[in-house]
Amino acid sequence: MRLDKFLKVSRMIKRRSVANEAAGAGRIAINGKVAKPASDVKVGDELDILLGGKHMIVRVNATPEFTKKEDADSMYSILEAQ
């Protein structure tokens, strides 16, 4: 699944266009490498996200194409948040 779509479906970022801009600006890394919006996200990947002065490291648990709002938080686990 594309990075920008994963961020939107998991509801970490509300809009896909914002996720696209964040990844394009180099604020998101997958497994330690700076990621582009079209980068592939797989189960087990670690995302390093720096947005709005907040820094989070999350592990991807699932990559469904669609999900319900109440199930979105099960798509990832927060490893570290600052």
- Other Cβ atoms closer than 10 A to 62: 14
Residue 25 lies in domain: 3-81
pLDDT at 7: 94
DSSP state of 48: E
The model's pTM: 0.90
User: What's the number of domains the chain is made of?
Assistant: 1
pLDDT at 21: 94
Contact 51, 66 (CB under 8 A): no
pLDDT in tens, the chain (82 residues): 999 999 999 999 999 999 999 999 999 999 999 999 999 999 999 999 998 889 999 999 999 988 898 889 899 999 999 8
Q: Report residue 73 as tokens.
A: 């938080």
pLDDT at 82: 86
Domain CATH code at residue 57: 3.10.290.10
Look at the chain and count its residues: 82
